[in-house]
Structure 1
Amino acid sequence: MNNQNHIIPCNVVKNYNYFRVVVVMVPLPAQGHLNQLLHLSQLLSTFDIPIHFVGTATHNRQAQLRRVHNGQTNHPIEFHDFDIPPFPCPPPNPAATHKFPSHLIPSFTAAAVHLHRPLLAFLQALSSKVKRLVVIHDSLMSSAIQGVDSLPNTETYSFHTVSAFAIALHSLERKGFVYGRNDGEMTTIYEEYFPKELNVVSMEECFPTEFLELIRTQFRQLPKMGAGKIYNTCKVIEGQFLDVIKRVEPEFRHWALGPFNPVKISSSMQSCSSHSCMAWLDQQEPRSVIYVSFGTTTAMKDQQIKEIAIGLARSDQKFIWVLRDADNGDVFNTSEIRKSKLPEGYDHLIGDRGLVIRDWAPQVEILSHWATGGFMTHCGWNSCMESMTTGVPVAAWPMHSDQPRNTVLMTMVLRVGVVLEEWRQELVTAHAVEEVVRKLMVSEEGAEVRRNAERLGNIVRQSVEDDGESRREFEAFVAHISR
């Protein structure tokens, strides 16, 4: 079905009285956040629920351009483009002191602040025409939904885009826990689930000061009477950490609705993916290729890119490497896109063993392909969930944000990956890259990790089948909002 943008004035809203529930999605305008709520939108639409996806025209277009279709829908998702004042879009800075993409903060702040007025007007018009209006908003977009709780027939759910492991840690920290300085229940919980040997890094190390303040500001503005919290994870992966969240925050209902990404590649999805890398993968041996990608917010220095290139070449393993610069606030502003240079003669050096992709790559399809046997990743939560659902083990190279904590979950708790090197390393050498690729792809230690990843992938895929645990959780949520 056609999923074009629908720019609907707030005084011209369809009458949805014949539906028990209508859902409005309010994402943060960053790829990893847009992607998750768009996947959730597609899943909910299969239950005959109309979905409205709101944002700026630029970010709605971005979400649709990079969209992975799940092949199922009962209602086309309606995209609503709201105008906001222009915001700065500086290019990513690979030489920045902190690896966090601070260049995106102006776009985050602009959306959180300036979407509030048009969004509230739209929701006011919509709430009067439906039996129940459900607003699912990114936890970092709380400013945009101020006042929504006062609307009739409306309930809000905050969506958290990171692992339950990271959220549980953050919840404990927000309660004032400091390791070794607190007594009582919080200490007991912390020491049981996050023992010292995990060596979990602090929030202050993961984020720059200005983003920590944005997090605090948005969490202070979370609706006091919100109907619950939603997570892109599932009990079969993170059941113990979901239990921690429920114990620390018993005042909310918590819904683990993941995995959001498609866990099976349908024929319709395959037909949508015409990328040349898929034909290259078809020619490789089973589980022989390592996929290398560091997400949409990683900017690397030229010297680091050179070290990766040499390390991959020396590993003697087949690889697909997505080599793109980090997104800026407007991905369609291509005037300042940096194209990193590879070592001279690199194509000749790797021959047909490697493929370097300079544009957008179909990650879910690549990870789902039978030839893909490993994934070198920054451990962003989208990438973690996609690797786990496809049963592909990871070589973890975290950069910032929740990624160092996700790395602990993937490598030390779930044991479906190996760590590249200490994540704060100024320069990761070609030797380190070569070693970790060999460890993951051809060593005995890697074989155990690969078996763990395959086993977990099977469990997760079974959980989304009819009467599986994840499927039951999702159906319970749909029944709850449709009551």
Structure 2
Amino acid sequence: MAAAEELHFLLVPLAAQGHIIPMVEVGRLLAARGARVTVVTTPVNAARNRAAVEGARREGVEIELTEVAFPGREFGLPDGVENMDQLVDLAMYQAFFKAFWSMEAALEEYVRALPRRPDCLVADACNPWTAPVCDRLGIPRLVMHCPSAYFLLAVHCLAKHGVYDRVVDHLEPFEVPAFPVRAVGNKATFHGFFKWPGAEKFDHDVDEAEATADGLLINTFRDIEGVFVDAYAAALGRTTWAIGPTCAARLDAEASASRGNRADVDAGRIVSWLDARPPESVLYVSFGSLAHLRPKQVIELALGLEASGRPFIWAIKEAKLAAVSEWLDGEGYEERVGDRGLLVRGWAPQVTILSHPAAGGFVTHCGWNATLEAISHGVPTLTWPIFSDQFSSERLLVDVLGVGVRSGVKVPTLFLPAEAEGVHVASADVVKVVTELMDGGAEGAARRARAKEFAAKATAAVEEGGSSHADLTDMIGYISELSTKKQLGEKSTNNTEADAALSVVPS
């Protein structure tokens, strides 16, 4: 069996920051064990994430970054559009995934040119096009999932028991069958990936690639999702490892500062502002890279934050929209909230903020990376899901773990009546839920205590002796053994073919 130092892992993330970030963190964990790690992505995404990789190399963790050309132009995408946060409509999404699916030949050409075949290819679950490459070249393949195990299992149960086919109305309520906990929702809030018209082939390919993988990786840990991880592994019949939260292996703000998108404000200014606030008093507001609020909802949220009287930092990327920018400037909003509110018109250094003692709450879209960062830093959440798996993350945070408060969002914006103009939560209700999250009553104190307990468990999980550390060790051993078997099998096949050829040669 080969040692970790002799293994080469090829990582192929989906071109979305919420997928690239944990994949690079997995690469860092593998490289820290001595393995050789190469992250394969497109030129634009390589440029975005080069700082994180170079930072790891400066620390002595050897990760390589390799570029494969992205054929976006062939599918009608503008040059330079290579990440999901650059897409503006459903037509672009379909073109984006078609372009990705067509990268199979380029990836195979790259792998064939290597002096030695990789021992394992780790593919994002949304990159099933890597499966035929591994099949042809005899490379063990793992599928990595970036949402929660809760979501993965719920979607599987709903599909297996025919609920998606039986329920026509997207808002008709149902309970998830054969699920470890009671979970009530509807098709709008239990919406799986690739479940839109025209994406049927994508959906089939994803399922097939997962069903034939040599194993599954999930960025979670057993103290929060053990029952869901085990049930999903049993349902798929695949060896499954919970190796997260990958962010918990790097909780220091400075080391985690470069994560693909450059902050639009100096981190030092943020820290100075936070230093002047009492412990656990500041509310941090961010909706990630893909989720967007409608202008009317941005305004309602702004008015609610102002009326709450709480200090807050808001990474308000919607401020780059004309309607929002004009309202902020025309109303003199920043002057009114004064030094109590810090608006970052774009990206904020999230880890720096969440890791600061002054951070007391996090208004989040419940993307899985943001959810894990909140858990890992022990910061209670005000949940504001926008689409897909985010509603499952909300259920986990509020109903299962008891570390979150619901904002009141019931369905994705798409399912709101037109007259709502994208407003889920009115300003008065923002005040109410912010007060519930941030007040120090008995319930709030218990919520905060639970959040700190899970943070300690998250750190313990990735340290030596922890469950995720052990799962990663087991995965490395599994790949070492599997790679050795495949190499021996290939040699045996080559020898058999050579013997057969010799047997027909005249003596």
Give the TM-score band, short-chain normalised.
0.7 to 0.9
Q: Secondary structure at the match of 1:193?
A: coil
- Tell me whether 104-113 or 31-40 shows the greater mean CA deviation: 104-113
Change (3 A) 1:162 1:265: closer
Q: What is the alpha-carbon distance in structure 1 between the residues aligned to residue 432 and residue 199 of structure 2?
A: 35
How far apart are 1:66 and its partner, in Å?
Answer: 7.0
Q: Name the amino acid aligned to 2:447.
A: V
Q: What is the alpha-carbon distance in structure 1 between the residues aligned to residue 78 and residue 303 of structure 2?
A: 32
Contact 1:46 1:73 (C-alpha < 8 Å) held by counterparts: no
1:295 to 2:288 alignment: yes
- The match for 2:501 is none
Q: Secondary structure at the match of 1:269?
A: coil
Contact 2:256 2:351 (C-alpha < 8 Å) held by counterparts: no
- The match for 2:436 is 439
How far apart are 1:482 and its partner, in Å?
Answer: 3.1
How far apart are 1:202 and its partner, in Å?
Answer: 2.4
Change (3 A) 1:36 1:450: same
Q: Deviations over 1:401-431 (max 9, x none)?
A: 1011111111111111010003325412111
| Larger helix proportion of the pair | 2
- The match for 1:306 is 299
Q: What is the aligned counterpart of 1:64 among 50, 54, 59? A: 50
TM-score (normalised: structure 2): 0.79
Change (3 A) 1:106 1:450: same
Contact 1:100 1:399 (C-alpha < 8 Å) held by counterparts: no
Q: Name the amino acid aligned to 2:209.
A: L
How far apart are 1:69 and its partner, in Å?
Answer: 5.5
Q: Secondary structure at the match of 2:144?
A: strand
Contact 1:45 1:74 (C-alpha < 8 Å) held by counterparts: no
Q: What is the aligned counterpart of 1:232 among 213, 219, 230? A: 219
Q: Secondary structure at the match of 2:342?
A: strand
Change (3 A) 1:358 1:51: same
Change (3 A) 1:163 1:68: farther
Q: What is the alpha-carbon distance in structure 2 between the residues aligned to residue 376 and residue 344 of structure 1?
A: 23
Change (3 A) 1:287 1:204: closer
Contact 2:220 2:243 (C-alpha < 8 Å) held by counterparts: yes
Contact 2:141 2:215 (C-alpha < 8 Å) held by counterparts: yes
How far apart are 1:447 and its partner, in Å?
Answer: 2.6
Q: What is the aligned counterpart of 1:418 among 394, 405, 414? A: 405
Q: Secondary structure at the match of 2:185?
A: coil
Measured on the aligned residues, the alpha-carbon RMSD in Å equals: 3.4
Q: Name the amino acid aligned to 1:308.
A: L
1:322 to 2:337 alignment: no
Q: What is the aligned counterpart of 1:217 among 204, 210, 223? A: 204
Contact 1:395 1:440 (C-alpha < 8 Å) held by counterparts: yes
Aligned-pair identity in percent equals: 28
Q: What is the alpha-carbon distance in structure 1 between the residues aligned to residue 293 and residue 331 of structure 2?
A: 19
Q: What is the aligned counterpart of 1:454 among 452, 477, 482? A: 452
Q: What is the alpha-carbon distance in structure 2 between the residues aligned to residue 441 and residue 74 of structure 1?
A: 41
How far apart are 1:303 and its partner, in Å?
Answer: 1.4
Q: What is the alpha-carbon distance in structure 2 between the residues aligned to residue 134 and residue 482 of structure 1?
A: 9
How far apart are 1:299 and its partner, in Å?
Answer: 2.2
- The match for 2:77 is 88
- The match for 2:170 is none
- The match for 2:345 is 358
Q: What is the aligned counterpart of 1:467 among 465, 468, 479? A: 465
Q: Name the amino acid aligned to 1:38.
A: V
Q: Secondary structure at the match of 2:317?
A: coil
How far apart are 1:215 and its partner, in Å?
Answer: 4.9
How far apart are 1:359 and its partner, in Å?
Answer: 2.9
Structure 1: runs of 5+ lacking an equivalent: 1-15, 93-98, 182-187, 327-333
Q: What is the aligned counterpart of 1:118 among 106, 111, 119? A: 106
Structure 2: runs of 5+ lacking an equivalent: 82-86, 167-174, 417-421, 482-507
Matches within 5 A, 1:53-452: 53-64=39-50, 73-85=59-71, 86=73, 87-88=76-77, 102=90, 105-106=93-94, 108-126=96-114, 129-130=116-117, 133-152=119-138, 154-178=139-163, 190-191=177-178, 193-195=180-182, 198-202=183-187, 206=191, 209-210=196-197, 213=200, 215-222=202-209, 225-250=212-237, 252-266=238-252, 269=255, 275=267, 276-325=269-318, 340-341=325-326, 342=328, 344-424=331-411, 426-427=422-423, 428-444=425-441, 445-452=443-450
Q: Deviations over 1:69-116 (max 9, x none)?
A: 679854432111111322525999xxxxxx997476146414422321
Q: Secondary structure at the match of 1:158?
A: strand
